[in-house]
Amino acid sequence: MAEELLVPAFGVHVDGAGPSSPLPVGLPRNRVIAWKWELIALAVRQMTGEGKNA
């Protein structure tokens, strides 16, 4: 739905998930980050310049 509405999105690895964990359909692996507040803040800043936010 986010893609359809041009809303940028990213995923966060939680509960022991990592780079080889399965992802939801449609979520590219390069849009998933580790659960680190610094990385989440950077991703949020990036999203504010993408899609309908651009």
pTM (two decimals): 0.78
pLDDT tens, N- to C-terminus, the chain (54 residues) = 888 899 999 999 998 898 899 999 889 999 999 999 999 999 999 999 998 888
Phi, psi (deg, nearest 5) at residue 45: -60, -40
Distances in Å between the alpha carbon of 12 and those of 43, 54? 10, 22
